[in-house]
Amino acid sequence: MFTLSTIGSALSGFFCVQIAFGAPIPHKPTSTTSSASTHTSTSSSDSPTSTSPSDSTSGSGGISSAPYYVVYSDEASTAAPDPKDIQFWQGKRLAGEWEKLSDSKRQSTLQQYEQAGIKIMVSAFGAEDAPTTQGSDPTTLANTLAEWVIKYGVHGIDVDYEDFDAIGDGSGPGAEWVITFTKALRQKLPQGQYMLTHAPVAPWFTKNDGPYLKVHQEVGGLIDWYNVQFYNQGKTVYNTCENLVTKMNDDNPPLLEIVANGVPIEKLVVGKPAVADDASDGYISPTELGECLTQAKQQNGYNSGAMTWEYHTDGSTLAWIKGVLGSDSSSSSADKEGPTTSERRLAQRKPVNRLSY
């Protein structure tokens, strides 16, 4: 990870297509209350939009409409890829490398990406960062990160807050810290001009005491969507369509229970490990995940896509995406039209690129 001395946080990068890609730090916590994890995410969409306080998404500088397909990665890379290959460029040092570019090179690269429909974001925190526990002031830090976003021309920020000790069961100071941090970010990065996403673990949406329910109630209208981590919560949790989508569980709410708890389904992107070794538990095959998403669509109109940790250079990430798309009928018919190969179909989708902070 690249560290900025003025911030004390790590930067990494990612790109995405209507399949999204991200660059996180691997995490395999044994408990959601005692350990932290880091990751960033990317996403893309067909038409640029942004969220508003009423949970809508519109605006020239904001996010594209769902579905989003997000991939996280911690692969190192220092060279900017050709836009046609952008959806497969990942790197845990990319934000630092982006910062090192000359203004002219950065601008020309941005123009190339924008012409290809690509957006760039930076993602903050992760498993190795505990900003609340470490005593960071949320407003000061948000202002510093927002200034970085503006200075270096990226299109938004992803908040991968994983300070488990601080957020606890909702009684700790973490939720209030995140709320203040999010408000401060939006003060500097207005909706319609900049994208803002979060990447919480699923248990943080537990009914009554879920800390991210409090976050959503207070600032959900400022957040474009949540890349929810449905993994690393136990070997019998989130490992079937039933307990991922519908089965009630007080400690580990499935997708539709989170919706019942007050979070709009269009703001929830289901996150899963790409392969079994990418997480302690929670892996299901991409084909099965696609079937689960189809069930979610049939039961409650889910059409938000999917996120995966993590990117692999051996082609398995593309296979994961193809597997999900092949099974997930929640993608529109327009998404399934075009060239006969999945690779060409993916290349045509408009990416969002994020640099992880």
Count how many domains the chain has.
1
Find the CATH number of the domain harbouring 124: 3.20.20.80
Q: What pTM was computed for the model?
A: 0.75
pLDDT at 139: 98
CA–CA separation, 176 vs 155, rounded Å?
25
CB 294 within 8 A of CB 330: yes
CA–CA separation, 161 vs 212, rounded Å?
11
Contacts of 211 (CB under 8 A, 6+ apart): 167, 168, 169, 170, 172, 174, 175, 178, 204
Which domain, by its residues, includes 51? 2-356
pLDDT at 309: 82
pLDDT, tens digit only, all 357 positions of the chain = 222 222 333 344 443 333 333 333 223 333 332 222 333 333 333 322 333 333 433 333 455 677 777 766 555 544 444 444 444 333 345 677 778 888 998 888 888 877 766 677 777 888 888 999 999 999 999 999 999 999 988 888 889 899 999 998 888 999 999 999 999 999 999 998 998 999 999 999 999 889 999 999 999 999 999 999 999 999 999 999 999 999 877 789 999 999 999 999 999 999 999 999 999 999 999 999 999 999 999 999 999 988 888 867 777 877 888 899 886 654 443 344 333 333 333 333 333 444 544
pLDDT at 115: 76
Question: What is the phi-psi region of residue 282: left when phi exceeds 0, alpha when psi lies from -120 to 50, beta otherwise?
Answer: left
Exposed/middle/buried for 170, CB within 10 Å: 0-12, 13-18, 19+?
middle
CA–CA separation, 223 vs 216, rounded Å?
8
Q: C-alpha dihedral over 137, 138, 143, 148, to 10 degrees?
A: 100
